[in-house]
Structure 1
Amino acid sequence: MNVIWRTMLIHVLARVRARRGERLSATDVGRIRLTTLPTDIDILMHMNNGRYLSLFDLGRWDLLVRTGLWDAMRRNGWYAVVSAATVTFRKSLQLWQRFDVESRLLGHDDRALYLEHRAVVDGEIYARVIVRARMMSGRGKPLSHEELFAATGRPADLPDVAEWVHEWAAASQLPSTTRPAPSVWD
């Protein structure tokens, strides 16, 4: 439950930062400072591996608000869903340790947007996640990039997504929700 309070706080702080002129372009790296709280740790007294994804969501909120995408989403009734994520852990975050969540848009393909989030301590990467997200219309249908970029503008300097990210997305994809996906173990 504590992540909802952090989410609301990050959302308010991102709005304040945007009003103070600390807006981000779609290709900028957003940074927020967090602390590993007792509710974030596991029995081994370091950050629980599942908590990273929840805290990286906070970086995504900051990015959405400060780039102005959140306003376009609210105006049009859109929302984003994560369709895949891959995380790599390098070092453990300890209780009460301060760290930055760095977030940036990597690019897009014909169906999804790709983002990268990093947990960083003193300039050193502790963990990294690549997220594949779909924008959805208020009707629950996937939003085309044409609609998205018509409302928000397409960033001129949006980089190409690395080939390995495309390969990962293809390899990890499940069948669409309109096709069966039975749980059958080999």
Structure 2
Amino acid sequence: MNVIWRTLLIMLRAKRIRKREGDLPLDGISRVRLTTLPTDIDLLRHMNNGRYLSLFDLGRWDMTTRTGLGDAFRTHGWYAVVANETVTFRKSLELFQRFDVETKWIGHDDRAVYMEHRAVVDGEVYAQAIVRARILRRSGGPVTHEELFEAVGFDGGMPDIADWLHEWADRVRLPSARAEAPSVWE
């Protein structure tokens, strides 16, 4: 099953859960149960390292739908883009193994919001990803955190991120899309 079909199923499931249970708080934890499918594995017979990030997207879709952010994005003409992400692996997910994708907003800085994703089996973390995302307007320009939080009725305040995340974001940042970025190997 391609990830697009999984995405659509996750979004439908998230809408049902939201209707039944109400909005997930922006500082809540989203959990999506998945199974490692034949299309997820590589020649070594475990989940392909690139597939983790695709499946962690499902956690973001679930979180976006269940918190009401998806509705706010449509209403205001906003969208989210991943600016940076990093993933760390601990254990391999095997074919047909069940696991949960856990997703949580972990903070923000002056330009972006940060989320953590985990692949979890029986309460044990197998892989973890940190994602830095920007919220932008289709008409151009960024959405402020105040606008974002107000749109979903979140007044709890999102914590500032840890210092190492500031350093990571600075070290992996590429030039702006409007600036030149020649491919020169040193």
For normalisation by structure 1, the TM-score amounts to 0.95
Bigger drift between 88-97 and 150-159 goes to: 150-159
Specify whether residues 22 and 41 from structure 1 end up closer, same or farther in structure 2 by C-alpha distance, changes over 3 A only. farther
Specify whether residues 140 and 54 from structure 1 end up closer, same or farther in structure 2 by C-alpha distance, changes over 3 A only. farther
- 5+ unaligned residues in a row in structure 2: which ranges? none
Which stretches of structure 1, 4 residues or longer, exceed 6 Å deviation after superposition? none
Specify whether residues 120 and 22 from structure 1 end up closer, same or farther in structure 2 by C-alpha distance, changes over 3 A only. farther
Separation in 1, partners of 2:34, 2:22 = 18
After superposition, residues 34-49 of structure 1 pair within 5 angstroms as 34-49=34-49
Separation in 2, partners of 1:125, 1:96 = 17
Separation in 2, partners of 1:40, 1:76 = 35
CA contact (8 A) 1:26 1:155 kept: no
CA contact (8 A) 1:27 1:155 kept: no
Offset at residue 136 of structure 1 (A):
1.2
Q: Which residue of 2 aligns with 1:168?
A: 168
After superposition, residues 1-186 of structure 1 pair within 5 angstroms as 2-186=2-186
- 5+ unaligned residues in a row in structure 1: which ranges? none
Bigger drift between 20-29 and 37-46 goes to: 20-29
Q: Deviations over 1:9-60 (max 9, x none)?
A: 0000000000001531011111010000000000000000000000000000
SS in 2 for 1:118: strand
Specify whether residues 155 and 114 from structure 1 end up closer, same or farther in structure 2 by C-alpha distance, changes over 3 A only. farther
CA contact (8 A) 1:82 1:134 kept: yes
Separation in 1, partners of 2:3, 2:80 = 18
The percent of aligned pairs where both chains have the same amino acid is: 63
Offset at residue 142 of structure 1 (A):
2.4
Separation in 1, partners of 2:146, 2:33 = 34
State the AA in 2 paired with 1:105. Answer: W
CA contact (8 A) 1:105 1:116 kept: yes
Q: Deviations over 1:163-183 (max 9, x none)?
A: 111110111111111211111
Bigger drift between 57-66 and 141-150 goes to: 141-150
CA contact (8 A) 1:78 1:136 kept: yes
CA contact (8 A) 1:103 1:117 kept: yes
Separation in 2, partners of 1:14, 1:184 = 44
Separation in 1, partners of 2:12, 2:37 = 20
State the AA in 2 paired with 1:185. Answer: W
Separation in 1, partners of 2:32, 2:95 = 18
For normalisation by structure 2, the TM-score amounts to 0.95
Offset at residue 83 of structure 1 (A):
0.6
Q: Deviations over 1:77-121 (max 9, x none)?
A: 111110100100000000000000000001111110100000000
Count of aligned residue pairs for this structure pair: 186
